[in-house]
Amino acid sequence: MKVFAISDLHLSFSSDKPMDIFGGAWDNYWQKICEDWQAKVEDEDVVLIAGDISWAMSLENALVDIKEIEKLKGNKVFIKGNHDYWWASLAKIRAALDDKTFVIQNDALRFGNCIIAGSRLWNIVNQTSEDKTICKREAMRLEMSLEKAQSMRNEGDILIAMCHFPPFDATLADSEYTAIFEKYKVDSVVYGHLHGKDCRAVKYLEKNGIKYYLTSCDQIDNKLVRIL
Give the model's pLDDT for residue 109: 98
Give the model's pLDDT for residue 23: 66
Which of helix, strand or coil describes residue 218?
A: helix
User: Residue 1 above 90 pLDDT?
Assistant: yes
Range of the domain at 20: 3-226
107-147 residue pLDDT tens: 999 999 999 999 999 999 989 999 999 999 999 999 999 99
25 — pLDDT class (breaks 50, 70, 90): confident
Helical axes 176-183 vs 129-152, angle rounded to 10°: 10
User: Residue 81 above 60 pLDDT?
Assistant: yes
Phi-psi domain of 190 (left: phi exceeds 0; alpha: psi -120 through 50; beta: other): beta
Give the model's pLDDT for residue 22: 57
Mean pLDDT of 101-106: 98
Q: Is this structure's pTM higher than 0.85? A: yes
Give me the amino acid identity at 178.
T
167-189 residue pLDDT tens: 999 999 999 999 999 999 999 99
Give the model's pLDDT for residue 27: 87
Average pLDDT, the chain: 94
Q: How far apart are CA 128 and CA 109, in angstroms?
A: 33
Pairing state between β 225-226 and 46-50: unpaired
211-226 residue pLDDT tens: 999 999 999 999 999 9
Which residue, among 49, 164, 157, 50, has the nearest Cα to 111 in the 3D structure? 157
Q: How far apart are CA 160 and CA 114, in angstroms?
A: 7
Structurally, how many domains does the chain consist of?
1
User: Residue 104 above 60 pLDDT?
Assistant: yes
Q: Are 95 and 102 in contact (CB under 8 A)?
A: no
Mean pLDDT of 62-69: 97
Which of helix, strand or coil describes residue 54?
A: strand
197 — pLDDT class (breaks 50, 70, 90): confident
Q: How far apart are CA 101 and CA 195, in angstroms?
A: 26
CATH code, domain carrying 89: 3.60.21.10
User: Residue 21 above 70 pLDDT?
Assistant: no
18 — pLDDT class (breaks 50, 70, 90): low
Give me the amino acid identity at 61.
N
User: Residue 64 above 60 pLDDT?
Assistant: yes
